[in-house]
A = this chain, B = another copy of it.
């Protein structure tokens, strides 16, 4: 039986290469998804929606209704205290 691992300077070269290539593949996939997301925002903008506000809605949807409403109440209070309409 032969050991198929290429040992370079005490390093299991094959394992290292495998880790690196797996990470690179996943990073490429991630990059593809990021591009897809950008395209959807562009498409939404082309349809007349405001990307910035969509982003805000998405971030609000991650919160519970209670947290959201509490934050909105505080925000209104602070704005009022500062004289912002």
In the assembled complex, which residues on chain B have CB atoms less than 8 Å from the CB atom of A16?
Answer: 44, 49, 54, 78, 81-82
Main secondary structure of the interface of A (DSSP, over half): helix
The number of times this chain is found in the oligomer is: 4
Contact A43 B19 (CB under 8 A): yes
Q: Which of A20-75 contact B (CB under 8 A)?
A: 20, 22-24, 26-27, 29-30, 33-34, 36-37, 40-41, 43-44, 47, 49-50, 52-54, 56-58, 60-61, 65, 68-69, 71, 74-75
- Complex: A47 Cα to B65 Cα, angstroms: 26
For A44, the chain B residues whose CB sits under 8 A away are 16, 19
Contacts of A58 in B (CB 8 A): 20, 23-24, 27
